[in-house]
């Protein structure tokens, strides 16, 4: 479980998701013309949708084209994952330029979780690709109604590393601010960028992952952004230490909306979403964490929309990074060093119908139970 150059050399993958008509194609159209897209392969559903003719340098094959930005564009019929595999095979055979970044556009109704799972678990893909960022487009006009009506759109916003508020030209500032507040409540760590007609620097969408290829190092602070969970308005429980050995910063939407006195339908999908950071002062036993992760991913996997954490483990000097989407945990990564003097374990959660207390208490008690047996497992 050490960090090798291989991990840095894996192909950075960005997933673009967003509800139907929220501006994914417009965004890609804006991105494909930019400098900085050289060595990027883009997987889209249909070329026709994007209108690439003016950018086209040559057609490499029936479903792969080379654009004048140096970007390869691949049209995928059906399964994105087999598209990604095919692309890798073509790259290995030298049939297409050796791209070092991939952007995948999902269809508008897609639940992004299965794609993230495949990227995290598929035996070929995990050795060749690494998930760098999830970018979600949210329509400034219709976004709020879609969050009300479509649970997929809530999920798309909750798993994002970057949120693009598209069609920002079509709404006033108050509407933009209200939607931003709602999105920030769903997902405190993701920066929200207003976008007009897909005009955004491509660099803003990349490098949200743990690995920073520019420095060949890991940037845990940028990846975890646990401080974003600390400041969320006037939640009265914000700094409450509910347990002697651990505490959390909970962003409970019911509280939030109560304080801001928003009139809304109490059954809105995002009222079920909570985001919080749990901090453990005592080092954790790896065995306790694994047991906890197995129980929660099996029993409450659908509630764990996104989990990221840095763990201080008994018997390990260096921290270990963990990352999950619903019922799938990414293989843990041993980090070379702590990002700061704060060596406590911190885990950030975005959950559906699952609060911090049961998570914190169960992990705390499992840890205490393993402590009593005196057996320290080590991450594999
Ligand atoms: N005014 C304005 N219109 C936009 C903006 N972004 C997208 N649109 C328009 O919104 C419509 C839908 O945009 P698309 O880019 O096709 O959305 P999509 O998410 O790819 O749509 P699906 O593939 O159907 O899910 C198009 O008519 C775009 O021209 C924007 O920032 N401002």
| CATH number for the domain harbouring residue 237 | 3.30.1220.10
What is the best residue among 16, 17, 18, 25 to mutate for testing ligand 1's pocket, by most ligand atoms within 8 Å of CB?
A: 25
In 3-state terms, what secondary structure has residue 111?
coil
Residue 80: is its pLDDT beyond 70? yes
Check whether residue 53 and residue 162 sit in a common domain.
yes
Check whether residue 198 and residue 246 sit in a common domain.
no
Check whether residue 110 and residue 184 sit in a common domain.
yes
Check whether residue 206 and residue 341 sit in a common domain.
no
Give the separation between CA 153 and CA 148, rounded to whole angstroms.
9
Atom of ligand 1 nearest to the CA of 18: 19
pLDDT bracket for residue 312 (50, 70, 90): very high
Mean pLDDT of 101-130: 84
When divided into structural domains, the chain yields a total of: 2
Domain-located, residue 379: no
Range of the domain at 360: 228-373
Residue 270: is its pLDDT beyond 90? no
Domain-located, residue 145: yes
Check whether residue 141 and residue 275 sit in a common domain.
no
Residue 285: is its pLDDT beyond 70? yes
What's the pLDDT at 256?
42
* Spatial contact of 45 and 32, defined as CB atoms under 8 Å apart: no
Distance 2 CA to ligand 1 centre (A): 43
- Cα distances (Å, whole numbers) of residue 269 to 44, 165, 312: 29, 19, 34
What's the pLDDT at 248?
63
Atom of ligand 1 nearest to the CA of 168: 31
What's the pLDDT at 237?
37
Nearest CA to ligand 1 atom 25: 20
What's the pLDDT at 60?
82
Residue ranges in the chain assigned as alpha helix (H): 5-9, 24-32, 47-50, 80-92, 113-121, 123-128, 143-149, 151-158, 173-186, 220-224, 253-260, 286-300, 356-373
Distance 54 CA to ligand 1 centre (A): 19
Q: How far is CA 13 from the centre of its chain?
A: 11
What's the pLDDT at 356?
94
Nearest CA to ligand 1 atom 3: 167
- Cα distances (Å, whole numbers) of residue 369 to 74, 128, 285: 52, 38, 10
Closest CA to 156 of 58, 22, 56: 22
Q: Which of 47-51, 257-261, 309-313 has the highest mean pLDDT?
A: 309-313
What's the pLDDT at 201?
93
Share of the chain above pLDDT 90, in %: 41
What's the pLDDT at 109?
67
Nearest CA to ligand 1 atom 7: 23
Mean pLDDT of 110-124: 83
Residue 239: is its pLDDT beyond 60? no
What is the best residue among 26, 171, 176 to mutate for testing ligand 1's pocket, by most ligand atoms within 8 Å of CB?
A: 26
Q: Which residues line ligand 1 (CB under 6 A)?
A: 18, 20-26, 108, 166-167, 169-170, 195-197
Distance 143 CA to ligand 1 centre (A): 12
What's the pLDDT at 240?
32
Check whether residue 184 and residue 258 sit in a common domain.
no
Mean pLDDT of 174-197: 94
ipTM of predicted complex: 0.98
Distance 195 CA to ligand 1 centre (A): 11
Check whether residue 251 and residue 339 sit in a common domain.
yes
What is the best residue among 19, 21, 49 to mutate for testing ligand 1's pocket, by most ligand atoms within 8 Å of CB?
A: 21
Distance 182 CA to ligand 1 centre (A): 21
Give the separation between CA 132 and CA 135, rounded to whole angstroms.
10
Least confident piece of the model among 120-129, 131-140, 196-205, 353-362: 120-129
Domain-located, residue 205: yes
Domain-located, residue 75: yes
* Spatial contact of 359 and 296, defined as CB atoms under 8 Å apart: yes
Identify the domain boundary among 218, 253, 279. Answer: 218
pLDDT in tens, 135-153: 999 999 999 999 998 888 9
Mean pLDDT of 307-320: 93
Identify the domain boundary among 218, 253, 278. Answer: 218
Mean pLDDT of 258-264: 43
Neighbours of 55 (CB within 10 A): 17
Give the separation between CA 236 and CA 123, rounded to whole angstroms.
45
Distance 146 CA to ligand 1 centre (A): 15
Residue 280: is its pLDDT beyond 90? yes
- Cα distances (Å, whole numbers) of residue 229 to 124, 208, 255, 291: 35, 17, 15, 26
pLDDT bracket for residue 254 (50, 70, 90): very low
Residue 232: is its pLDDT beyond 60? no
Atom of ligand 1 nearest to the CA of 196: 31
Distance 141 CA to ligand 1 centre (A): 11
What's the pLDDT at 281?
94
Check whether residue 174 and residue 248 sit in a common domain.
no
Atom of ligand 1 nearest to the CA of 166: 31
Give the separation between CA 164 and CA 157, rounded to whole angstroms.
10
Distance 50 CA to ligand 1 centre (A): 11
Least confident piece of the model among 42-51, 87-96, 164-173: 42-51
Distance 21 CA to ligand 1 centre (A): 5
Identify the domain boundary among 166, 184, 218. Answer: 218
Give the separation between CA 336 and CA 321, rounded to whole angstroms.
11
Q: Which of 78-92, 230-244, 365-379 has the highest mean pLDDT?
A: 78-92
Check whether residue 24 and residue 157 sit in a common domain.
yes
The mean of the pLDDT values for the chain is 83
């Amino acid at each position: 479980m050490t960090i090798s150059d291989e991990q840095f050399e894996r192909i950075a993958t960005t997933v673009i998701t967003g509800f139907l008509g929220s501006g994914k194609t417009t965004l890609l159209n804006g991105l494909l013309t930019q400098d900085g897209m050289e060595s990027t392969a883009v997987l889209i559903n249909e070329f026709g949708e994007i209108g690439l003719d003016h950018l086209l340098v040559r057609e490499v094959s029936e479903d792969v084209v080379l654009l004048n930005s140096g970007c390869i564009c691949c049209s995928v019929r059906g399964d994105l994952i087999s598209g990604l595999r095919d692309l890798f095979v073509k790259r290995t055979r030298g049939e297409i330029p050796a791209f070092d970044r991939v952007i995948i556009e999902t269809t508008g109704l897609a639940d992004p979780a299965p794609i993230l799972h495949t990227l995290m678990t598929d035996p070929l893909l995990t050795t060749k690709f690494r998930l760098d960022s999830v970018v979600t487009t949210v329509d400034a006009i219709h976004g709020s109604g879609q969050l009300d009506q479509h649970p997929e759109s809530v999920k798309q916003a909750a798993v994002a590393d970057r949120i693009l508020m598209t069609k920002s030209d079509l709404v006033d500032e108050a509407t933009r601010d209200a939607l931003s507040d709602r999105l920030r409540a769903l997902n405190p760590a993701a920066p929200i960028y207003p976008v007009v007609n897909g005009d955004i620097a491509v660099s803003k969408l990349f490098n949200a992952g743990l690995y920073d290829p520019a420095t060949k190092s890991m940037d845990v602070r940028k990846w975890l952004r646990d401080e974003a969970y600390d400041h969320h308005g006037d939640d009265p429980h914000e700094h409450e230490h509910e347990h002697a050995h651990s505490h959390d910063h909970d962003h409970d939407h019911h509280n939030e909306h109560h304080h801001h006195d928003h009139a809304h339908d109490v059954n809105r999908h995002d009222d079920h979403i909570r985001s919080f950071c749990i901090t453990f002062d005592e080092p954790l036993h790896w065995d306790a964490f694994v047991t906890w992760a197995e129980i929660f991913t099996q029993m409450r996997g659908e509630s764990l929309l996104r989990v990221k954490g840095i763990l201080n483990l008994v018997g390990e000097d260096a921290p270990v990074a963990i990352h999950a989407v619903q019922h799938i945990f990414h293989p843990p990564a041993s980090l070379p060093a702590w990002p700061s003097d704060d060596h406590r374990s911190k885990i950030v959660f975005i959950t559906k119908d699952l609060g911090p207390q049961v998570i914190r208490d169960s992990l705390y008690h499992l840890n205490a139970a393993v402590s009593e047996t005196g057996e320290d497992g080590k991450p594999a």
